[in-house]
Amino acid sequence: MAEVTLVGGGLSGALLALMLARKGVRVTVYERRADVRSDRFEEGRSINLALSARGIHALRLVGLDEDVLARAIPMRGRSIHPVAGTGSLIPYGRKPDEVIHSVSRRGLNAQLLDALARETGVAVHFQHRCTGYNLRTRTLTLRDEAAGRDFTVDSPVVIGTDGAASAVRAALMQATRMNYSQEYLEHGYKELTIPPAADGSFRLDQNALHVWPRGGFMMIALPNPDRTFTCTLFLRHHGTPGFDQLATPRDVAEFFGSTFPDAVPLLPELADEFFRNPTGGLVTVRCAPWHHGGQVLLLGDAAHAIVPFFGQGMNCAFEDCEVLLGLFDACGGRWEEIGPRFFAERKPNADAIAQLALDNFVEMRDTSADPHFAVKRQLEHRLEERYPGQFFSKYAMVSFHRVPYREALERGRVQDRILMEVCSRVTSLAEVDVDATFARLRAAS
Ligand SMILES: Cc1cc2nc3c(=O)[nH]c(=O)nc-3n(C[C@H](O)[C@H](O)[C@H](O)COP(=O)(O)OP(=O)(O)OC[C@H]3O[C@@H](n4cnc5c(N)ncnc54)[C@H](O)[C@@H]3O)c2cc1C
């Protein structure tokens, strides 16, 4: 029986383990943290993620899509909150099923681990941190965090699903000629909570992703099943405004009061949470190759961490699992063939979604409050309606149609240029010649 060791039992690790186990592979997973299903798991806050077509499709392959969606909250568009005046909803799609879904990170991980526990031939070791991998002896070094004990295990095939700060990737970098770069944004992020209203209801429209675009920075909020919202403030680490300037509760109150006035009454624990919760960094990790000699492979954030502005990091990691599963079959389980083919297929797509995510930050924080952007979105929907199967917006290609990221990037750039040019000259969709715009798009593609 084939054997594989996975380092990291997070989102992609748990899904991949499940997929491989169902192929008859004996899988051992080492996960640094405590079991997310246990009381020992330290994360108390609700943290959520946007799940879309790629992630759903991969979950369908293991029969978990319906269970996961049953606990998810559909979000049908961006609800824009200006500094003053009333907001607006910019729908993501045209059809009722063109929505994205807010899921609990912990809940999804728990659902995957529950499914994994029902498989035979799988061992999951929590609180086991990988500290290295010796390519020559094919041994993994681990620390049992609960027992305070270090040990090694023979692991002829290792897959690193251990996230953006991957220990498996670090071992590959030490021993092989791997190229590597990490690029931090000058922005960081902080999570805050909007609790339910006194009567237990949501305090904002629960079927939307809320955005407070402020040009250069922004805040967003996604709904949770417990009727809270998780807000994420994306702000420069240093600058005006910047996290470094928000040093006291008074600074925070003044900044939020002038910048996000409608959010202030929704955030009763603002100052406490602001100073209690960490400020996270936002990094794009690129490396190559992602494999070594049929022995080590990287997948998910370990291979390609991206910034979160297209809501695709997990979706891309789940699509990685799906592609790897297909190659496992196509290559008859021969890892020395799977690794190079996986890398060749996924690397251009991972680079493309990394770029799309960076571009989307600019769109979300700077242009989504621009009235021309709302017209652009309406025009995209009108084009999709009038030219079904011939026109797909960039957002739809990425989030609803599973068009390869590389193609979505190329086609999306041409689209954005033409559509923004058309929309910058008008104030409403009625002024746009939709057929002439389609002809221009066609000629340019
Ligand atoms: C603020 C924010 C918002 C996001 N929003 C979205 C979104 O809306 N939609 C979306 O699709 N993506 C989103 N993402 C991205 C998403 O979180 C990641 O792409 C996804 O979690 C990647 O899954 P993974 O399994 O590769 O890595 P991870 O989820 O990071 O899992 C890695 C696992 O490996 C374990 N581990 C790490 N080191 C070791 C070690 N040395 N030994 C053993 N185990 C180890 C970790 O404990 C963890 O369980 C967001 C990310 C951030 C930061």
pLDDT tens digits along 228-270: 999 999 999 999 999 999 999 999 999 999 999 999 999 999 9
Query: Is the pLDDT score of 43 beyond 70?
Result: no
Q: Is 313 in the pocket of ligand 1 (CB under 6 A)?
A: yes
Query: Is the pLDDT score of 46 beyond 70?
Result: no
Residues 40 and 52 in one domain: yes
Residue type (1 letter), 270: L
> Taking residues 382-398, what's their average pLDDT?
96
Judge whether 262 lies within some domain.
yes
Residue whose CA is at the smallest distance from ligand 1 atom 35: 8
Judge whether 365 lies within some domain.
no
Residues 10 and 26 in one domain: yes
Residue 11 CA to ligand 1 centre (angstroms): 7
Provide the CB-side half-sphere exposure for 124 (13 A, CA).
Answer: 28
Domain that holds residue 51: 3-72+103-181+283-360
Closest atom, ligand 1, to C-alpha of 131: 41
Residues 354 and 206 in one domain: no
Q: Looking at 215, 249, 281, which one is the last position of a domain?
A: 281
> Taking residues 337-356, what's their average pLDDT?
98
Name the phi and psi angles at 3, rounded to 5.
-130, 140
Q: Looking at 235, 266, 281, which one is the last position of a domain?
A: 281
The preferred substitution site among 49, 158, 182, 211 for testing ligand 1, maximizing ligand atoms within 8 Å of CB, is 49
For residues 258 and 261, give the distance between their C-alpha atoms in angstroms, rounded to a whole number: 6
Residues 30 and 151 in one domain: yes
Judge whether 393 lies within some domain.
yes
Residues 265 and 374 in one domain: no
Judge whether 19 lies within some domain.
yes
Q: What is the pLDDT of residue 42?
A: 62
Is residue 296 within 8 Å of 133, Cβ to Cβ?
A: yes
| pTM of full prediction above 0.85 | yes
Q: Is 301 in the pocket of ligand 1 (CB under 6 A)?
A: yes
Residues 248 and 271 in one domain: yes
Provide the CATH number for the domain around residue 29.
3.50.50.60
Q: What is the pLDDT of residue 270?
A: 98
Number of domains in the chain: 3
Is residue 149 within 8 Å of 157, Cβ to Cβ?
A: no
Judge whether 92 lies within some domain.
no
Closest atom, ligand 1, to C-alpha of 129: 42
Q: Is 234 in the pocket of ligand 1 (CB under 6 A)?
A: no
Residues 177 and 303 in one domain: yes
What strands, in cross-sheet order, belong to the sheet with 73-75? 48-51, 100-104, 73-75
Residues 385 and 254 in one domain: no
The preferred substitution site among 46, 301, 315, 356 for testing ligand 1, maximizing ligand atoms within 8 Å of CB, is 301
Closest atom, ligand 1, to C-alpha of 52: 11
The DSSP bridge pattern shows strands 100-104 and 48-51 to be: antiparallel
Percent of the chain with pLDDT strictly greater than 90: 93
The preferred substitution site among 6, 11, 105, 364 for testing ligand 1, maximizing ligand atoms within 8 Å of CB, is 11
Residue whose CA is at the smallest distance from ligand 1 atom 21: 314
- pLDDT-derived band at 426, boundaries 50, 70, 90: very high
Judge whether 113 lies within some domain.
yes
DSSP 8-state secondary structure symbol assigned to residue 430: G
Q: Is 314 in the pocket of ligand 1 (CB under 6 A)?
A: yes
Residue 65 CA to ligand 1 centre (angstroms): 19
Q: What is the pLDDT of residue 367?
A: 74
Residue 10 CA to ligand 1 centre (angstroms): 7
Residue type (1 letter), 367: T
Residues 29 and 153 in one domain: yes
Residues 177 and 241 in one domain: no
**Residues 6 or more apart whose Cβ sits within 8 Å of residue 436:** none
Judge whether 259 lies within some domain.
yes
Q: What is the pLDDT of residue 258?
A: 97
Residue 220 CA to ligand 1 centre (angstroms): 19
Identify the CA nearest to 413 among candidates 393, 399, 396, 427.
Answer: 393
Rg (CA), the chain: 23
Closest atom, ligand 1, to C-alpha of 8: 34
Q: Is 412 in the pocket of ligand 1 (CB under 6 A)?
A: no
**pLDDT tens digits, one per residue of 114-134:** 999 999 999 999 999 999 999
Q: Looking at 281, 300, 325, which one is the last position of a domain?
A: 281
Residue whose CA is at the smallest distance from ligand 1 atom 38: 162
The preferred substitution site among 309, 314, 319 for testing ligand 1, maximizing ligand atoms within 8 Å of CB, is 314
Residues 377 and 405 in one domain: yes
Residue whose CA is at the smallest distance from ligand 1 atom 51: 308
> Taking residues 347-354, what's their average pLDDT?
98
Residues 67 and 145 in one domain: yes
